[in-house]
Amino acid sequence: MTMEPAAIRAVHKPWGSTQLAPWSRLSDGKPIGEVWFERASSDAPPAALLLKLLFTSAPLSLQVHPDDRLAQSLGQPNGKTEAWYVLAAAPDAEIAVGLTRDLSHTELRNAIADGSIAALARWQPIAAGQAVLVAAGTIHAIGAGLVIVEVQQRSDTTYRLFDNGNARPLHADLAMIASAPEQRVPDVAAARPRTGRDVLAESPFFIVERLCFEPGASWALDTQGEAWLLVTAGALAFDQVLLATGEAIFIEGERASFRAIAAGTEAIFAYVASRPNAGLISRNEPHSGVTP
């Protein structure tokens, strides 16, 4: 049984930002692209999920991640399916998910080689409050001007198809193997109304929910497996832990009570499961807070 505040690590990226407030207080004058939330102890067993905040001032590479089968054939523990929830977006912010048409292996190889793959990416507008699940094998990219919560299978394997003129190597052979044959992906759903407890993404590996709280309400969290709670606005108070905006907690096989201590408190709740589990959160006070 474990409940511990997550360790926070800054990852510098050329496409990152120096303006992370109010979601992070990290600052060293260099662009930070990713803020990772990890187990507090380096001796702890590796978590199944990796929780991140992304800050983009320029577009990321067009890329694809392997699924479990490919990753394990290459000696890695698992693939990388991920989900994004947009906290903030510039008016012209975009993401790319999938391609505008299917390509044969030969066409895909040639498009990577001559750079025309960039024009085939299926770009679409994205706004705060929207969420998207990016299954392993889906070619994708994140544009500039975004702050995103990312929940993913714990893997750092990325195969680049196009890198916006940067000098980093591309991975044409592995990208062709990793890319799913079908790349037409539905439009990103409109931002969901805040109803208290909203499922943002479902995958075979994890569930991502958004929780919206009224101040003072008391709640109980009862997890059997791995779960993460990231405060994205306001603050949450556990018995011995105070989580401010941009802080997270790791919980596994533990029951804990908590309450919101600020108006407008919101959090992202991610847990290992293949379908939503309404029983993970219960209300201690029946007339306030989120609706399970």
Are 2-178 and 197-283 equal in CATH topology? yes
AA letter at 163: D
Q: For the whole model, what pTM was predicted?
A: 0.94
Query: In CATH, what number does 2-178 get?
Result: 2.60.120.10
Question: CA-CA distance, 54 to 10, in Å (whole number)?
Answer: 10
- Indicate if 154 belongs to the active site: no
Domain spans of the chain, in order of start? 2-178, 197-283
Question: Given 122, 160, 210, 259, which residue is catalytic?
Answer: 160
Query: In CATH, what number does 197-283 get?
Result: 2.60.120.10
Question: CA-CA distance, 272 to 267, in Å (whole number)?
Answer: 17
Cross-strand bridge partners of residue 134: 82
pLDDT for residue 286:
53
pLDDT for residue 240:
84
pLDDT for residue 290:
52
Question: CA-CA distance, 191 to 198, in Å (whole number)?
Answer: 11
| Rounded to 5°, angle at Cα 233 from 208 and 39 | 55
User: What's the helix, strand, coil split of the chain in %, to 5?
Assistant: 10, 40, 50
If one counts every other C-beta atom within 10 angstroms of the C-beta of residue 282, the result is: 13
pLDDT in tens, 233-272: 999 999 889 999 999 999 999 999 999 998 899 999 999 9
pLDDT mean across residues, the chain: 93
**Strands 131-134 and 82-89, bridge-based pairing:** antiparallel
pLDDT for residue 58:
97
The low-confidence residues of the chain, meaning pLDDT below 70, are 285-292
Per-residue H/E/C for 32-79: EEEEEEECCCCCCCCCCEEEEEEEECCCCCEEECCCHHHHHHCCCCCC
pLDDT for residue 214:
84
